[in-house]
Chains A and B, each alone.
Chain A
Amino acid sequence: MNKITTLILKEWADVFRNRYVLYIVVLMPLIMILIPVIMLGVGGNQDLMSNDLDEIPPAILEQPGFEGLTPLEAMQAFMGMQFNLFFLIVPLAIPMTIATYSIVGEKRDRSLEPLLAAPITTSQLLAGKAIAAAGPGIITAWLSALVYGLALFVVVPSPAVRALLLNAPFLISVLVIAPLLTVLATTVGLSVSSRVNDPRVAEQLGMIVIVPVLGLIFAQIAGVVAYNVQTALISAAVLVVADLALLYVAVRLFQRETILTRWK
């Protein structure tokens, strides 16, 4: 068996037996799916929403693409679009958690030293850790997006509204932005945990990088930033540059001797 594969399988066998990591990996996507789906379910319910429908600001009804929607449909479409980027928290949080626990945990349990004494290159070790962290991140992100998309067929009866929600910017976020964010979170997680010895500290330090991205996601939810094909592509371009820079940093930081000794 290839050494990187061995490392990845070992990583998963170990890290998924850690309750905290398991909770994050299972619960986080569930929450990220359930919140928008429940909101849309409520938002699309005539009886629950009847009082509010009269008060919908005209600005909402006049949004591009909203022509011909009933007020209820417009309401639902508006809500749904705010959640367009919500699930992107999944590819950010999961790789970060796995990466920090897999490296810092390994340092804390002293299992890193025998591993570094084995005939593996630092790149193999880095690749193993990175794929072990990024893999579940992207898989859960895509699964979340898929489940969300399918759930829309249940809670959003109008095909016109569904088309508005599963639009091009949404697809770009699933297919392009989510993988790029996974790489971002993984490289940040790896870099940070190469220098600290507490997984929680590593996660918090990682958050310093993650928070601006989260900020953008929430700004979009709040309607401060418009998310359309143009901004989606700009974000993707920025992320590519950030990912490359961070990958460079991670490789530089991830040296045998430093990860072994520079953390006490």
Chain B
Amino acid sequence: MIKTTNLTKRFGENTAVRAVSLEVPRGEVFGFLGPNGAGKTTTVRLLSALIGPSEGTAVVNGFDVVREPMQVRRTVGVLTETPGMYDRLSAEYNLLIYARLYEVEQPEKAVQKYLSVLELWDRRKEAVGGFSKGMKQKLAIARALLHEPQTVFLDEPTSGLDPVAARTVREFIEQLKTEGRTIFLTTHNLDEAERLCDRVGVMRASLIAVDSPEALRRRLFGLKVRVQLANLADSHRQAAAGLPFVHGVEVENGALLVDLAEPERNNPALVAALVGAGAQVQYVQPSEASLEDVYMQLVNGGEAQPAGRGK
């Protein structure tokens, strides 16, 4: 559970995080998106009580990050942007240190559990310096979970991983979700956000928008139906535009892109009107804006505020 009010972090003149108010309920996978330097990592650091806010408050798992930082740290797991393992020490010892620092009841058992789950058990005695990026990342994820935290912060968990390793990590995140943990995930991979997250927040110093990917799509692009015609003509466009439930019609790649309120109810009438106007209808498909379109619109569009460096 995460709740922030007006959370702000300044580094000198630079406002990295500006007045972020956000609520992430227990058990949700929340995706945190935004361009480089948007303040995602800074927000994760604020929420994991690593740095203090300049203004505003944040409550994580019921604990205030400023007044009860120790309880916050105890109940959250953090995958930092860079794994930061001790390269000269073995995988097992790396985890054991953390199991002890987090006062895990049976450190060896927890270490064994997560090394096995993440398929690193066979290589537990090896120095981490020799591990691939993917293995280090998995190890760092294991380290973040040893104490079974209620809330998990994952800062770019799949960045730099090959497709197979990235999938392993994603599947693991899905599994964490089924265990009822709150997951706060930052990523530049919009596909991943779309697949994993219940809701996403798009950020650029301040929070630009928060909602489910689906709702953001609707909000920004409405619901559109793509009607492919064999004989597209302007009269067809006019026929569609004349219907009372149609908000707008565009022509895109030889098809009509019709913006309407309730596709399920309105499509039959739309098709009938088009056929009545002499159109030869080939396909009728829902036109989904991708989360990438949404992101581009939010980050570059009018709603976006200039990020990062203030005056």
Stretch at the interface among A46-54, A59-67, A71-79, A115-123: A115-123
Check A109 against B51 for contact (C-beta < 8 Å).
Answer: no
- Is B236 positioned at the interface, with any CB of A under 8 Å from its CB? no
Which of B98-106, B167-175, B264-272 is the interface stretch? B98-106
Partner of A114, one of B11, B87, B88, B143: B143
Q: Which of B84, B87, B88, B144 is close to A112, meaning CB atoms less than 8 Å apart?
A: B84
B50 & A120 in contact (Cβ 8 Å cutoff): no
Stretch from A10-18, A87-95, A184-192, A230-238 at the B interface:
A10-18
Q: Using a CB-CB cutoff of 8 Å, which residues 89-132 of chain B contact chain A?
A: 89, 93, 97-98, 100-103
Q: Within the assembled complex, what's the spacing in Å between the Cα atoms of A1 and B144?
A: 20
Given that A6-B101, A119-B73 are known contacts, is A114 also in contact with B52, CB under 8 Å in the complex?
A: no
A-B contact pairs, 19 of them (CB 8 A): A6-B97, A6-B101, A7-B101, A10-B86, A10-B97, A17-B89, A110-B83, A110-B84, A113-B84, A114-B98, A114-B140, A114-B143, A117-B50, A117-B78, A118-B98, A118-B102, A119-B74, A256-B51, A261-B51
Tell me the smallest distance from the CB of B286 to a CB of chain A, in Å. 43
Complex Cα–Cα for A114 and B83 (A): 8
How many residues on the B side are at the interface (Cβ–Cβ under 8 A)?
Answer: 31
**B102 touching A109 by the CB < 8 A rule?**
no
Contact of B80 among A1, A110, A121, A256 (CB under 8 A): A110
Residues of B within 8 A of A116 (CB): 50
Residues in A with CB closer than 8 Å to B103 are: 3, 119
Residues of B contacting A118 in the complex (Cβ-Cβ under 8 angstroms): 73, 98, 101-102
Q: Determine whether the beta carbon of B50 is less than 8 Å from that of A257.
A: yes
**6 closest pairs, A vs B, by CB?**
A110-B84, A111-B84, A17-B88, A110-B82, A119-B73, A117-B78
Bound-state Cα–Cα, A14 to B140, Å: 17
* Bound Cα distance A256, B69 (Å): 11
Chain A residue, CB-CB nearest to B107? A1
Q: How far is the CA of A157 from the CA of B222 in the complex (A)?
A: 99
Chain B nearest CB: distance from A36 CB in Å?
A: 34
The 8 Å CB contact of A14, one of B83, B84, B89, is: B89
For the complex, give the distance between the alpha carbons of A110 and B155 in Å. 14
* Whole-angstrom CA separation of A110 from B79 in the bound complex: 12
Q: Are B100 and A3 in contact (CB under 8 A)?
A: yes
By a CB distance below 8 angstroms, the chain B residues around A114 are: 78, 80, 84, 98, 140, 143-144
* B43 smallest CB distance to A (angstroms): 14
Query: How many interface residues does chain A have, given as a range?
Result: 20 to 34
The A4-45 residues at the B interface (CB cut-off 8 A) are 6-7, 10, 13-14, 17-18
Task: Tell me if B85 counts as interface (CB < 8 A to partner A).
Answer: yes
Please tell me if the beta carbons of A119 and B80 are within 8 angstroms of each other in the complex: no
Task: Answer yes or no: A139 CB below 8 A from chain B CBs.
Answer: no
Known: A111-B84, A114-B80. 8 other contacts (CB 8 A): A1-B100, A10-B89, A13-B88, A17-B89, A109-B86, A110-B83, A114-B143, A115-B101
**Does the CB pair A119–B82 fall under 8 Å?**
no
In the complex, whether B48 has a CB less than 8 A from a CB of chain A is yes
> Would A121 and B89 be within 8 Å (CB), given that A3-B100, A114-B140, A260-B50 are in contact?
no
- Rounded to whole angstroms, the CA-CA distance of A71 and B74 in the bound complex is 70
Instruction: Flag A111-148 by CB within 8 Å of B: 1 or 0 each.
Output: 11111111111000000000000000000000000000
Q: Do the beta carbons of B89 and A119 come within 8 Å of each other?
A: no
C-beta contact mask, B48-76 vs A, less than 8 Å → 1, else 0?
Answer: 11111000000000000000001001101
B:31-59 near A, CB below 8 Å: 45, 48-52
Nearest-CB residue, chain A, relative to B42: A261
**CB distance B48 to A117 under 8 Å?**
yes
**Neighbouring A residues of B97 by C-beta, 8 Å:** 6, 10
Per-residue contact bits, chain A 209-245, to B (CB 8 Å; 1 contact, 0 not): 0000000000000000000000000000000000000
Q: Which residues of A from 133 to 169 have beta carbons under 8 Å from B?
A: none
Bound complex: CA A6 to CA B100 (Å): 7
Q: Which residues of the partner chain B approach A109 to less than 8 Å between Cβ atoms? A: 84, 86-87
**Is B51 in contact with A257, judged by CB distance below 8 angstroms?**
yes
Q: How far is the CA of A111 from the CA of B93 in the complex (A)?
A: 14
Measured CA separation A214–B106 after assembly (Å) = 48
Beta-carbon contact of A111 and B100 below 8 Å: no
How close is A174's CB to chain B, nearest CB, in angstroms? 33
Q: Give Cα A3–Cα B74 distance, bound, in whole angstroms.
A: 14
Q: Which residues of B8-34 have CB atoms within 8 Å of chain A's CB atoms?
A: 11
Report A131 CB to chain B, min CB distance, Å: 16
* A120 CA to B97 CA, complexed, in Å: 12
A42 to chain B, nearest CB (A): 41
Query: Which residues from chain B contact A13 at a C-beta distance below 8 Å?
Result: 86, 88-89, 93
Chain B residues contacting A7 (CB-CB under 8 Å) are 101
B85 touches A111 (CB 8 A): yes
**Contacts of B50 on A, CB cut-off 8 Å?**
113, 116-117, 256-257, 260
Given known A114-B143, A257-B51, A261-B51, contact A14–B88 (CB-CB < 8 A): yes
Chain A neighbourhood of B49, CB < 8 A? 117
Chain A: minimal CB distance from B27 (Å): 22
Cα–Cα distance between A264 and B84 once the two chains are bound (Å): 16
